[in-house]
Structure 1
Amino acid sequence: MQELNSFLEPGMLVTHPDKPEWGVGQVQSNIDGRITVNFREEGKIVIDGSRIGLIPVYNEN
């Protein structure tokens, strides 16, 4: 899964596939597969990119 998240860069918007209630989050950093995301409804979370494939949000309405 780490390869799936390797393209994520700070500023990109994502959602967590298992936690839709967290809302859209903004990537803060992506270092060695550890992705820090600031989710609107949950706050700052560090994601293990080898276990969770975050879903990019390209057009937020």
Structure 2
Amino acid sequence: MSGLSKQGLSAILHPGMLVRHPDRPDWGLGQVQSAINGKVTVNFEHAGKQVLDAKVVTLQLVFGPQG
């Protein structure tokens, strides 16, 4: 993962960023609500608000309008 640890990725996440859960593609596109102490709260299109542990899951950043 290009040199970033899982905690490192959560450190760069901030509200408004778009992400996908790699193991839950059915959740759709998610928008980061908060990222505090390794806990990331994301509001997903089809799964609603989820609190994820950045030590367990590495979210995929989404760039551009395509989602």
Q: TM-score range by the shorter chain?
A: over 0.9
* TM-score, scaled relative to structure 2: 0.86
5+ residue gaps, structure 2, are 1-5
Say which structure, 1 or 2, has more relative contact order (CA 8 Å, 6+ apart): 1
Alpha-carbon separation, structure 2, partners of 1:5 and 1:52: 10
Q: Structure 1 residue 44 and structure 2 residue 49: aligned?
A: yes
The two structures, once aligned, show a CA RMSD in angstroms of 0.8
Structure with bigger gyration radius: 2
5+ residue gaps, structure 1, are none
- After superposition, residues 28-39 of structure 1 pair within 5 angstroms as 28-39=33-44
Cα displacement (A) at 1:50: 0.9
* Identical aligned residues as a percent: 51
- Structure 1 residue aligned with 2:3: none
Q: Structure 1 residue 22 and structure 2 residue 22: aligned?
A: no
